[in-house]
Structure 1
């Protein structure tokens, strides 16, 4: 029995050592990955082809000293944008971003290092990293930029019982769904949708539904991975009533890796919380 007790004791000691090593590794990865304590928060973004987009990045500011900012993109050589020692430094900027990037320099003192990209192109899509260095430390975080096309929807009637929803610019190619909002029936199979090639890779969407009845509300939904446009329509005694909306699908905010690891450490130390 004494021998079994010693084996159990040694197993428990081994488990404790493994747990301590795992915690030390987590802390070490946090320090190596962020080099310090400056927590950087980024937010994923959706860019419109030929438009402007802002890649969000905030950090702990140093009101006494200028912060250095470095924006990079995975798979791309050189920097996307660099600000160091109180001035813009674009000597190693990748040629694809020349003349199209800028910071809100007056907001750096408030902890805002968000990057504006103008004339957005499909090739701008990808993973970006924002790195901040100041007296608070050095921190970095990543975000994803998705790029495509989406536009508001228009709902009209081509006959007293035919509804048409149209929208001029979509990419990737969207899906179109028709619904009877009153009965909740899916009417897509009773509609005719045309995708007309437009500028660059974009599509114009034209979709018709015949058989609309008075006082029933109908909805047309155009959707891809980036956005959703919806148009609602109803025939009344005074004519066609419509309302429309366009919603961009966003992936939200990404917290800094150090914050994530601290949360994970807290869970490991307090398993009862699970």
Structure 2
């Protein structure tokens, strides 16, 4: 049985070595046989309706020549933005982006090809592609832009035992939950949502206002109201003390994350596969 185990173990090691070799060959051919050698990193973005958003795109800086930057939106004809040989080129820019896009020219030498998109609209939702070309070759990567509305929470009290949370602008419609905590580390302990009352009030355009109240609050207990949709999470924190109501608030975006280019991903995968083979 021990002999069979050793044979199986050696077969598995052999398979891993073959996989590592195949991936190494693919990477080698990619580097030697085409120009897709730039490692481009993009960042998923969350945009606020009528505000500006930065679509993140970074690459290895080129000290030999100016880097060309091309931004496109998947499924849309024309370009979003193009910068070629040190000059802006918008002759084939799609009309929906006219007057709403710009780079950070002084940052190109630092490897930053990020795009500033202004006056963001729901129609801007989608997948964008950033392509970089310079003396190191051409590399590209994509990111996803989501768009909606979200805003911080204002926390007050309307009676000595009622906590009032209000936030003016949300889209899509968010969920609302309430929690309390009496533990030393303030970990939420009880879901009080069913004891609260919430109103969703139509606002400007598609946006909506959220108003929610919790009655029966007691001294020295922390209460948290959470307003959340797929784009952002807002928290309002309140605690009655002998000196009055203490409050705090925070707003966090959801879904922003860096994305590795295919070449970087393959190198990472190669390292992961090579590790067990070295054991």
Give your verdict on TM over 0.5.
yes
Q: 1:202 aligns with which of 184, 204, 207?
A: 207
| Residue 132 of structure 1: aligned partner | 132
Shift of the alpha carbon at 1:269?
4.6
| Residue 95 of structure 2: aligned partner | 95
Whether 1:49 aligns to 2:44 is: no
Conserved 8 A contact 1:163-1:212: yes
- The total of aligned residue pairs comes to 263
Deviates more, 1:208-217 or 1:23-32: 23-32
| Residue 65 of structure 1: aligned partner | 65
Written as runs of structure 1 = structure 2, the 5 A alignment for 1:231-250 is 231-250=236-255
For residues 79 and 33 of structure 1, the distance between their equivalents in structure 2, rounded to whole angstroms, comes to 27
Whether 1:259 aligns to 2:275 is: no
Written as runs of structure 1 = structure 2, the 5 A alignment for 1:1-274 is 22-23=22-23, 26-27=26-27, 30=30, 35-182=35-182, 184-272=189-277
- Distance change (3 Å), C-alpha of 1:272 and 1:214: same
| Residue 9 of structure 1: aligned partner | none
Deviates more, 1:131-140 or 1:181-190: 181-190
Conserved 8 A contact 1:34-1:140: no
For residues 169 and 251 of structure 1, the distance between their equivalents in structure 2, rounded to whole angstroms, comes to 20
SS at match of 1:165: strand
Q: Deviations over 1:200-231 (max 9, x none)?
A: 11110000111111222211111111111111
For residues 59 and 20 of structure 1, the distance between their equivalents in structure 2, rounded to whole angstroms, comes to 26
- Distance change (3 Å), C-alpha of 1:21 and 1:179: closer
SS at match of 1:129: strand
Shift of the alpha carbon at 1:109?
1.4
| Residue 8 of structure 2: aligned partner | none
Shift of the alpha carbon at 1:41?
1.1
- Distance change (3 Å), C-alpha of 1:236 and 1:270: closer
Shift of the alpha carbon at 1:155?
0.9
User: What are the ranges of 5 or more consecutive residues in structure 1 without an aligned counterpart?
Assistant: 1-14
For residues 135 and 54 of structure 1, the distance between their equivalents in structure 2, rounded to whole angstroms, comes to 26
SS at match of 1:75: coil
SS at match of 1:189: helix
Conserved 8 A contact 2:46-2:146: yes
User: What are the ranges of 5 or more consecutive residues in structure 2 without an aligned counterpart?
Assistant: 1-14, 184-188
TM-score, normalisation: structure 1? 0.87
TM-score, normalisation: structure 2? 0.86
- Distance change (3 Å), C-alpha of 1:40 and 1:19: closer
For residues 48 and 187 of structure 1, the distance between their equivalents in structure 2, rounded to whole angstroms, comes to 30
Shift of the alpha carbon at 1:238?
2.0
